[in-house]
Chain A
């Protein structure tokens, strides 16, 4: 059950953030269901996943721990000196983390490269990539979008965590993204929109894929969902309060 996976991953995630007293809690909670959906509903053996919004690394680690790729002992060392699990995905060649990410605007290009490799190797494995919405400010994201669309790399599936917030403000107050669906369509993508915390809605959205153009999935999400400071820039940076920790662990 996706809900069970989500609950286990979320519980580990919350404990990791609390033990580390680390920020980016909101960034991970924003795309929690998206990643669970990709990992445990969509992905098959041989598929690739790239977390372009590397600041949600703790979510990726917790998910890989759930898959048995990362040990609970390694998880307990998250954020500590000499850890293999820093705040952004590392170069350590952990299975399931092909590339260190964290500088925004790289991930979609890396996914495009895998898509191109598919074409050259005559493979059909899927490549899933989660970008944030703030990182759509990066020009390189649109370079990648043009390439994916032009070469019709339909195995690349682009999930956008549309929580409306970025590093120092709201996306629409910083560099307006809307109408995002029309932008993506005009670039050559089939665009579907989903409620990003709702597994059924994500399933429905994906069922609309026509397999004619590459797919972009705009996932409307709440940054820091269930935190007292949800839907604020604060939850990007501030560590978990005791009250939120207790509330979430009881959930």
Chain B
């Protein structure tokens, strides 16, 4: 894409070792290592976009979102310029690298900015689809990268999509965002079969699709799953939409990243497990939730 489209400029915050060498070679002078200077890189990208380029700016997620946050808001978003923020390792993606390299605030921090669209892919094909959409979108975009799911037969990239139907009558609907949804496929067969799983892959979300609303009215049980901080990520924005659109009470359980509950550090998988987002903890939490009878009227 970058070779054929000469408007694309790629700026990296001094990262890309053993990953971006080919991109650098292919793009020539349109590939710039801006140094460990994300604020400058971000503001420069705004000027490049003003000049008609499509700048991609790249770093590890916290370094390309939270460090230059004001440059993103003022210089890019307020001016609605098509800068493409490519963030490696949202959530606990950088695992044992520790909390400075994690970003469990990125989706919230980005989705609330004016004109910003957030892309959270699930599969490798999603990344390609997201990039194709981003390069034609005239607004600022944020792409949260993580290790892609390799689940087969996943519906193509969209803001909302069903990625797994229940076998028979669903006991609950799981609404997830990002690659953490892959962990659902490791649940025991019976449990997994009792769930219908939907993915949200673009933010902001402004409406819940009718098919999903109908299913929620039927099951009255919704579980949200996100590798993101609780207050500003996916589940609160969904709760607000459900209140507006649903018209009936439901049981609502929210699985999210609460940070560092034990104070310890480990792999991405370890952090996910500690936050009930993976493994046995995820299984137990969902099992307990769906066993609760619907308490509404």
Given A91-B78, A100-B74, A106-B75, residue A140 in contact with residue B43 (CB < 8 A): yes
Kindly state the interface size class of chain A when it binds its partner. Answer: 20 to 34
A189: CB under 8 A from chain B? no
Q: Is chain A's binding surface mostly helix, strand, loop or mixed?
A: helix
Given A91-B79, A147-B40, residue A113 in contact with residue B35 (CB < 8 A): no
Contact in complex: B37, A113 (CB < 8 Å) = no
Q: Is chain B's binding surface mostly helix, strand, loop or mixed?
A: helix
Measured CB to CB, the nearest residue on chain A to B38 is A143
Measured CB to CB, the nearest residue on chain B to A98 is B50
Number of B residues, CB within 8 Å of A = 25
User: Quick one: which of A98-124 are within 8 Å of B by CB?
Assistant: 98-100, 103, 105-106, 109-114, 116-117, 119-121
CB-CB under 8 A from B50, the residues of chain A are 98-99, 113-114
**Neighbour of B35 across the interface among A114, A116, A146, CB < 8 A:** A146
A139: CB under 8 A from chain B? yes
B86: shortest Cβ distance to chain A, in Å?
18
B51: CB under 8 A from chain A? yes
Measured CB to CB, the nearest residue on chain B to A111 is B47
B197: CB under 8 A from chain A? no
B130: shortest Cβ distance to chain A, in Å?
25
Contact in complex: A112, B79 (CB < 8 Å) = no
B70: CB under 8 A from chain A? yes
Contact in complex: A113, B48 (CB < 8 Å) = yes
CB-CB under 8 A from B34, the residues of chain A are 147
Contact in complex: A110, B48 (CB < 8 Å) = no
Residues of B that sit less than 8 Å from A by CB: 9, 29-30, 32, 34-35, 37, 39-40, 42-48, 50-51, 53, 70-71, 74-75, 78-79
12 contacts between A and B (CB under 8 A): A99-B47, A99-B79, A106-B74, A106-B75, A110-B43, A116-B44, A117-B48, A117-B51, A119-B29, A121-B51, A143-B37, A146-B35
